[in-house]
Chains A and B, each alone.
Chain A
Amino acid sequence: MKAVDFGLKLGAEHVELKAEETSKTLITTKDGKVEVVREGFEAGVNIRVLVKGAWGCVSTLKTNQQSLLKAVEDAYKLAQSSSKKIKEKVKLAEVKACKDKSLIKSGKDPRNILINQKIEEILTVDKTLFKLDSQVKSCTIDYLDLVGKDFFVNSESSFIEKEKLYVWLRVYATAREADVFASASEELGSTAGYTIFNENPPEKLGEKIVKRLKTQLKAKPAKGGIFPVVLGSNVVGVFIHEAFGHLAEADLTLSGSVILDKLGKKVASENVTVFDDGTVEGAFGSFKYDDEGVPSQKTILVKDGVIVGLMHNRETAGKFNVKPTGNARAENFRHVPIIRMRNTYLKPGNYSFEELIEPIKFGYYLKNFRGGQANLDGTFQVGVQEAYEIVNGKIGEPVRNLSISGNTLETLKKVEAVGKDFKLWPGRCGKGQIAFVCDGGPSIRVGEIQIGGRR
């Protein structure tokens, strides 16, 4: 608290400080062998001060009082040098001071699991893959568990102690037959402890990946052009995240995203309702407080096709004159908190999968994605690792090497039907720093989408 008071005494209008301690265990295996086991411990502090509407931020490792006072002074000077030039001053939305301790409830703390058990379960995935199919050529598995503690204080007398727990796994496998290469990946992630294999037993996970690889080896190139499609839950997740989610991060909205002048307006078909929810128990994008000490919440972004909300930090909430939504997150003490998604999803409807594909004469069913990217003008791209033709209302042959693209606003209007299935998919999102998130939803039918295929 002394450091915070010192900042105020220097003349800052807002001071906040987050100290953290993190332990990580990382395991990498390649083709059935442990490549390396990594153990890490780090600690540090991030300090932010606001002086006449400009930010000064310092991240440092030294946590003794003298170093902290020096760091606050540095942050003050940093802010001061830009505050002379700033025209539109940063103004933070008010939040209630909060004193709380948020502890991990998990019964399955990864620190209590022997490293040999973790290795064994990871290698079971690998073994299943190689055993099932001789075409499998490689398998890389990365495992991470992260346990840590944050202490947050600010000049409004908030004091929050928060424990963090993440468990994450990614499997990436390739197969080859003659000159055809296939690859498939799967990601698991949880904040509920070492539970990732509960829902996805290692053998099942291996089988799922092999099936996808074999399908791809048989697949033919897709056609290029405009087609009707059914997007599976996995692709819907990344579509909602990339194509809409990023545009609704209020910092990017303000930066000129295409939805800036669409707030309160109908942009999508009535079937479309979108949430960004930080309160889903155990989900990879859930947490109790964000890195500005604002409680996480379930935020509705689109209701029946109308944009009703954005994701905010205190700065953008101040600008829009609304309440912050608890979306400010920093990867660690080296980064300043910025607006990040949590668990972002499309609300399910009531169509069965058969009803979704039934009216399509020729189109594509896009089941699993490989990566995606958004642009402020609403252009999105989603790469696809698993896809099939739809012919006369039935799933046809597999296709490979394609991505989909379009404009968010046009595509959202063309959502014709929304399925009743639902799943959240854990992943990591990059916006200059990494955040753990989930995205998901049901399967949907979209009237037309641009397919980047080679035929």
Chain B
Amino acid sequence: MVDHLYVWVKYRLEEEDSLSLIEIGEKIVRSALKLDADEVEVYLVKGWSLHVEIERNQLVRNVKSIDEGFGIRIVSNRSIGFAYTNLVSKENIEKTVLKAYHASKTGKPNEQWKGFPKPAKLPETKNTYDKKIAEILLEEVVDSAQIMLESAQKVDEKVFVVDGSVSVGEIIKAVVNSQGVSFKDEGTGVGCFLSTVAKDVETTPVCFESEHERVYKVDFEKVGVEAAKQAVSALGSKTIRTGVYEVIFGQHALASLLYYTFINALKADNVQRGKSKLKGKLNQQIISENLTLIDDGLMDGGLETWKFDDEGTISQKTVVVDKGILKNFLYDKLTADKDLTQSTGNAQRISYPSYVSTPHIEPTNFVVLPGKPSPENLLENMKKGIYVTHLQGAHSSNPESGEFSVVATPAWFVENGEIRYPLKWVMLTGTIYEVLNNVVDVANNLKKVNFLVAPWVKVSNVKVVGK
């Protein structure tokens, strides 16, 4: 509930400005090079977003945001200084350049530093921009939110909509550096979510459904119906005995668990700093052969698809795990230089707004390759087990050891191939490596949830603490 719910939408651009982002970036780079800086990089974004927000069964608030700004990295004697601002005026540009320059003089040299990325040919991306979103009218977004809300309310009168939203937005980003990179890309996004509970003698835990896309193809009605159905089916919960069970993880549950454990172990900086259990395990079997994991920065319509990453390395598709064998770590430029390899295009600025931060290694579209069975097949083959859609407390896992201890909620008991009843007071505990080693089946229902693109995954031998 208080964890971050993913909202795609970022920002906007107004046509009135005479200079393009690249032109502004190039001007800033030139002015910084007049100081005795060795290297300069400017990251610029401009965007708008519109959110139609639902609270307690009604549309209550519409929010529009306009934002633009830039962050500048200046390198002097291999020491990096960074400054940002959202006031792109001439006077303030000069001030910001000077701040970054002075900041670069306060740090100590980083021997690993070998420079910003060099120019390269930009790859093609598909379905990352939709004119329909760029030109959408407020009324249409409001109507979509109303459709989502009403379709949830129609399912059952026990359903209470806690909150939700429909969001649209557009963003342009550019990276310009003194190596000659001058890249620009433009993208749109649309997303919606709905949180629900159902009430009779008891109130269910919060149930949740969402859908996010880059083009205007979201089924608002379906999201509403699913969120409501989930809540109704969470009524009448029972406890479960402590033991070892088969567990089917839904996409949201899988996304949160992976993000706070396994993903950290794949980041090259953590590997280099001795913080990853996967250090030294390239080309070894590390998890179940049922799993192939791909970081695809160029995925068709991917939520994280851009032509280049946030420090100007062109995006690529990286096989991370092939049938259980570790093939690659996720790199940015600095860590790749250190390992004498190439950046995998995983430098991202994930703060909000993005220009206030320096790049860090993050997955792009992290794909769990789907299997053949349908989600129904996964249930059919289950004698006694648990289906869980969300985990509470995944962020309290130990990112180094991969140990986790979380609450599974909402979750359902499955017996002889059927979802029997909802569960309460269920905790799952173990390490992510045990979980990924014990993956027995991967379904075919791919869904985009935050960074993850995955189907349902069935895992055997999960330690469950009941009451």
Residues of A within 8 A of B (CB): 30-31, 33-44, 54-61, 74-75, 77-79, 81-82, 85-88, 90, 115-116, 119, 137-138, 174, 176, 179-183, 224-226, 242, 246, 251-252, 254-256, 258, 334, 336, 369-377, 379, 381-383, 400-403, 405-407, 429-432, 450-454
Contacts and interface: CB of A to CB of B under 8 A. Distances in A.
25 contacts: A36-B80, A37-B82, A39-B103, A55-B60, A55-B61, A57-B62, A78-B138, A242-B2, A255-B160, A255-B197, A256-B197, A370-B398, A372-B393, A372-B396, A373-B396, A376-B206, A377-B203, A379-B424, A381-B393, A383-B397, A401-B429, A403-B406, A405-B425, A432-B4, A453-B405
B106 A174 contact: no
B463 A38 contact: no
Contacts of B5: 432
B88 to A, nearest CB: 9
Interface residues of B, number: 91
Contacts of A74: 64
Interface of B: 1-5, 7, 52, 55-56, 58-69, 73, 79-87, 92, 95-96, 99-100, 102-104, 106-108, 110, 138-139, 142, 146, 160, 162-163, 197, 199, 202-206, 242, 273-275, 277, 352-353, 356-358, 392-393, 395-401, 403-407, 409, 424-425, 427-430, 463, 465, 467
Given A85-B58, A174-B275, 14 more contacts: A36-B103, A41-B99, A43-B87, A57-B62, A183-B400, A255-B160, A255-B162, A375-B1, A376-B197, A377-B203, A379-B407, A403-B396, A431-B2, A450-B427
A176 B274 contact: yes
Contacts of B73: 36
Contacts of A87: 58
Contacts of B428: 452
Chain A interface, >50% SS class:
strand
Contact of B392 (A254, A369, A381): A381
Given A36-B358, A334-B67, A401-B398, A375 B205 contact: yes
Contact of A54 (B61, B79, B162): B61
B142 A85 contact: yes
Given A57-B64, A61-B66, A138-B274, A36 B465 contact: no
Contacts of A85: 58-59, 142, 146
B75 to A, nearest CB: 11
A452 B406 CA distance: 7
Main secondary structure of the interface of B (DSSP, over half): mixed
Contacts, number: 282
A369 B139 CA distance: 46
Contact of B467 (A38, A383, A450): A450
B61 A405 contact: no
B442 to A, nearest CB: 25
Contacts of B400: 174, 176, 181-183
Contacts of B430: 454
B87 A374 contact: no
B401 A180 contact: yes
Nearest to B51: A57
B86 A61 contact: yes
Contact of B395 (A57, A79, A371): A371
Given A36-B358, A405-B425, A82 B61 contact: yes
Q: What 7 A-B pairs come out closest when comparing CB atoms? A: A383-B396, A371-B396, A381-B393, A452-B427, A224-B465, A181-B401, A78-B62
Contact of A37 (B81, B275, B424): B81
